[in-house]
Amino acid sequence: MILHPQWQGIIKVIISIILGGLIGLERELASKPAGLRTHMLVAGSATLFVILGDFLVQYFVNGPLPNDVLRGDPIRIMQAIITGISFLGAGTIIFRGHRSAVEGLTTAASILFVSGIGMAVAIGETLMAVILTVLVVGILLIVGKLERLIQKRVRHTNLEDGERNNDGINKE
């Protein structure tokens, strides 16, 4: 049974929302500024925009304009998605001057990656999107724990080397 193109598009958006939700769930559980809903909406909207771009090109190529008036360029649609998502991701990045620390980079990167997953689903690369979603969830969970372990080790080493702890008291 062949589905109407609109239903095919709806199914692709649903798949993207689910995949984005898997990554968003990890961000939500880690209490990050962009969590489950944000990642689901970013993935779904990226898929929707790619599909709508294709529909628009097909409408104008087969519709009221002569074939040589409008040419479709899917790269422009992807550029627009990446630009918009990058702006959204930038809003999650915070610089904390008192600690000279930047926070939110991983969340910004995960938002950008989820938009890529959405675009992959839109062009029919669902297997790639699923495998990469699993990979990203693994990176966020496993590498995140590894980073925390390394940071704990570095802080411990710094305290042993005579740096001050949070109370301003030398450990020595």
132 CB burial (10 A radius; 0-12, 13-18, 19+): middle
Percent of the chain with pLDDT over 70: 84
- Residue 32: the pLDDT is 85
* pLDDT above 80: residue 31: yes
- As a whole number, mean pLDDT of residues 63-75 equals 66
pLDDT, tens digit, for every residue of 117-168? 999 999 999 999 999 999 999 999 999 889 888 988 887 777 776 655 555 5
Closest CA to 110 of 166, 171, 26, 44: 26
pTM: 0.77
Give the span between the Cα atoms of 159 and 167, in whole angstroms. 12
Chain mean pLDDT for the chain: 84
Work out the pLDDT band at 172, boundaries 50, 70, 90. very low
- Residue 72: the pLDDT is 63
The secondary structure of the chain in percent helix, strand, coil, rounded to multiples of 5, reads 70, 5, 25
* pLDDT above 50: residue 171: no
- Residue 25: the pLDDT is 94
